[in-house]
Amino acid sequence: MTSVRIVAAAVSAAVLLGGTPVAAAEFSYAAAGAPYKGRTIRVLDEITPLQETLSKIVPEFETETGIKVEWELLNHFEVINKGQADMLSGRGYYDVVMLHGFQLGPMISADAIRPIDDLVANAKLSNPGLDAADFIQLPYKTAAFSKGKQYAFINWNYNQVYWARADLLTNPDEMKAFKAKYGYDLAPPKTMEQMRDIAEFFTRRKGAMLAGKPLESDFYGIVLEGIKGGSTFPALWTNFIKNYGGDLIDASGKAIFDSPETVAALRMWAQLWKFAPPGIAEYSLVDVPTVMGNGIAAQTIAWSDFVLGVDKKGVSPLAGKFVYATVPVKAGREKTRFAEAEPSVTAISAASKNPEPTFLFLQWLADKKQQDKLIAMGEGGVPIRESSWAAPAIRGSANASLYGAMQATLEVSAAKPKMPKFYEIYDVMSGIAQEVGLGKLSPEDGARKGQAELLKLCPTTCLL
């Protein structure tokens, strides 16, 4: 299936042309694109409902500038493998490739991405009215910049939210029983400990009663991603370990995985697996929303853009019966919170022969006009701009709790540290995450093993 995932742009507030500040109204993409009319640029992106909506807007850029855009949409795993292979080979078939934040360390260290500072500074290409200050700043700054260089604009603010069955959390019989057992009201959890209680409470066997009806099959209190790969370890790292006060590395890049805080987070992770479906070790980021949409689990932490494709009429029989919140934190650490996110960019390949028209396309997509249209056409979306929260499609959405959860998440969403050996680290840590979840490794042994492996891979620092 083909289409595109694209970028978001950021330029300085004033660009000089012939020594005179250029007013935003004087800039036009038609004029800027005129020298490149007839050129073709190729874009590789990841397929989600967001990109499918975006594909309907792209022809407007072609009409406005005369620049042809060929885009290809692949699934999460394919876009990573195919995009990186093209960039690292120097072939340059794709002018621009969608990169998740965690990919930036390896790609930058391999000089596979073209910095865009010269393009941003080019008065003939830069739109002075782009308003980079309107981008949601933490994901934008942590993803698009490294070591004083700009490599992209923010494109896609992928983020995780807490997702639960509202019909169960508000059922009078279930609320009464929960209060009697745990001593507090049943509601979307604010802490990991509360999420664990809810997971335990709703895990029931076939024939047991749930919301006044007998279960026709087993029901589970939680579902999580557990596959070795995907986003299993990043979710464990940010949602659990960091919310418990632990981390993978410190600010200097030194391994610190064997802390007591990490052990405590791994212990909670292992407990939650006991209340999940037996196939959790094979569940990917795609399977989790499917399980929720099919109604066999009470709650999860999932990627919000996948929610958009499930919580809608005609897709899930439970559409409209869910509730969302930000990721729960460790009790006592409510003032310092983290939530897994993957701010993602569309970066120009170092081998691209069309950097200028490609830059124009990425900038055009990041423009407020296009972002407003994307939000309106998709009846929502995942904003990259602060101003998008006020868009009618979001402000007037029937799913207000989802957008509230997104906004709260994006306030603390940062790209992963730029680590050249991310994939090697990711591989070993994904295995540890799964083994701890399955009970094959104790939390203590998992923390020790992770620390030892990190020290083998990066004895001094794991950062660029």
**3-state per-residue secondary structure call for 209-225:** EECCEECCCCEECCECC
Query: Two tokens at 176?
Result: 């009464």
* Sign of the four-CA dihedral 203, 204, 206, 212: negative
Give the per-residue pLDDT at 60: 96
For residue 413, the 8-state DSSP code is -
**CATH code linked to domain 159-340+417-457:** 3.40.190.10
Share of the chain above pLDDT 70, in %: 95
> What are the tens digits of pLDDT across the range 326-382?
999 999 999 999 999 999 999 999 999 999 999 999 999 999 999 999 999 988 899
pLDDT for 19 beyond 50:
no
Beta-sheet pairing, 149-150 with 145-146: antiparallel
pLDDT at position 390: 96
Decide if 361 contacts 61 (C-beta within 8 A). yes
Q: Tokens 């876009």 — which residue?
A: 79
Tokens of residue 134, six digits:
């309107």
* CATH 3.40.190.10 intervals, the chain: 16-158+343-382, 159-340+417-457
Q: Does domain 16-158+343-382 have CATH number 3.40.50.300?
A: no
| pLDDT exceeds 70 at position 169 | yes
| CB-based contact 280:223 (threshold 8 Å) | yes
pTM of the model as a whole: 0.90
- Residue 3's region, left for phi above 0, alpha for psi from -120 to 50, else beta, is left
Has residue 395 got a pLDDT over 50?
Answer: yes
Residue 229 confidence (pLDDT): 87
Least confident piece of the model among 23-37, 238-252, 406-420:
23-37
Beta carbons within 10 angstroms of residue 443's beta carbon: 18
Task: Give 177: exposed, middle or buried? Use CB within 10 Å, 0-12, 13-18, 19+.
Answer: middle
- What is the phi/psi pair of residue 386, to 5°? -60, -40
pLDDT value, residue 49: 80
Nearest Cα residue to 15 out of 151, 119, 135, 126 = 126
Question: What value does the mean pLDDT take over residues 112-129?
Answer: 97
Report whether 287 contacts 220 (CB < 8 A): no
